[in-house]
Amino acid sequence: MRKQKSLHPDCPDLLRLGPNRFESALRAEAVAVQEEQKSVRDRYLDLSRDEDAQEDHRGVTRRRFVVGAAATTTALATSQFLTTQASFAATPTGTLIHVFLYGGADGLSLFAPMNDATLTRVRPSFTLPENTSIPLDRGFGLNESFAPLKKYLDAGQLAFIPAVSDRRLDRSHFAATDICQLGGLPAETGGMGWLTNLADKLGPGTAFRAVGIGSTLPRSLVGGGGALALNSVASLNVNGDGKFKQPTVDAIKALFTGVNHPIEAPVKAGIDALTLASKLAQDGYAPANNVKYSGVGNAFKEIAQLIKGGANVRIATVGMGGWDTHENQGTRGGYVAQHFGELATGMAAFFDDLGPDLSQNVTIMVSSEFGRRVAENGGGTDHGHGGGVIVLSGKKLAGKLLGTWNGLDTLVNGDLPEMNNMFSVFGSVAQGRFGLTDAEVGQIFPRQTYTPVKIYA
């Protein structure tokens, strides 16, 4: 009889472990598994001793394995990285940045039909002056506060979509924001953000494939997509005493390498993200073309640093508050005009910084949870429907004013009616940016009816 290879450390003859070949092999395998488990257990015991040593300031600890994401902390070994890959491959379809204006921005204070009889009658303080407004298509004018973006408007890269809404929206900031960012009612979406669904359609990428600039993720990036929330590139770091940072990273690598567990790949991706973020922070960032960022522009600066640093960001979000203008609205050079000016300056700085070679792969879409009522109310406007959407893209757009506009002759309870469905607009912007099919866009917005809107030329 040919001698079998031993699996048992104390018994070279496998057949002596049982009454027959099958049971002998089974018992040998059981012993081998016990030995393997003992090895893993010993590694954890060693780590535990290291943790105890850390309590006495003598070593490193898993408890300090925390990534600083501004005010929040994010453990790399969680779902933050579960759908990512460590490979920093190219992202040929580019980047979509969704800017959300919290508070219900008044789109009619930014772009509106010029010399409109209804507007002149019901909002005389907030009409756009003909002599200073920037001409758009179909008789619309643009608030002069957006002058920083005029060269992109002239180049066919900036456009506006009026009367954008959805029948599910009400006048509650919280409810409307949820619907806008989830892509429908929570019961329709399972609580998954629409940008999370989009990220899933785009497939795996780097740990930076979906990034929310800020201390917390917006609802649009909530779910299983593994998005990062960070205030700055430098904030993605290992917390604690600086002298323990690299030993901590090394300990994490050792702990989660060769463990034959699904956590191994995401942790490696997280370490790669840490490495890139540390390098970018160490190198510092100097914007190109003498660009200076300020206000909300600083969020765009972080995205520019990631894009130019090779992080292959596919989806990013920026939040900007202060749009609930019940009073002191000031369309003509007042508060709301200044706020729009800050937004335009930040967007222009971002595209100027990227330059034509990189910006051609980027699209920015700006929206809010709802618009304001057509009529003014004292020094401001109340919550309404039919907000506006702004698109700035490196891809040439189909015009300066996009979508349907049926005029102001028929209002609904004093509001602009829904002339362009919000989710069809969102889907069309994403579809043209990433080359998705109608069916794929339909899956991003569950239980919605997707009707494409012509966005790109």
- Which residue positions in the chain have pLDDT lower than 70? 1-92, 225, 235-275
> How would you class 15 by CB atoms within 10 Å of its CB: exposed for 0-12, middle for 13-18, buried for 19 or more?
middle
pLDDT of 186-230, one tens digit each?
888 988 999 999 999 998 887 788 999 998 899 999 987 678 888
b/e code 247-257 from CB counts within 10 Å (16+ = b): ebbebbeebbe
Asked if 274 contacts 236 with a C-beta cutoff of 8 angstroms, the reply is yes
Helix axes 194-202, 173-182, angle to 10 degrees: 10
Q: Phi/psi of residue 162, each to 5°?
A: -90, 165
The dihedral through the CA atoms of 196, 197, 201, 204 has a sign that is positive
Q: Phi/psi of residue 387, each to 5°?
A: -75, 180
* pLDDT score of 18: 64
Neighbouring CB atoms inside 10 A of 79's CB total: 13
Asked if 152 contacts 392 with a C-beta cutoff of 8 angstroms, the reply is yes
CA distance 305 to 301: 6
* pLDDT score of 22: 62
Question: By three-state DSSP, how is residue 129 classified?
Answer: coil
* pLDDT score of 76: 37
* pLDDT score of 283: 76
Q: Which two tokens stand for residue 263?
A: 């956590």
CA distance 444 to 449: 11
Asked if 146 contacts 347 with a C-beta cutoff of 8 angstroms, the reply is no
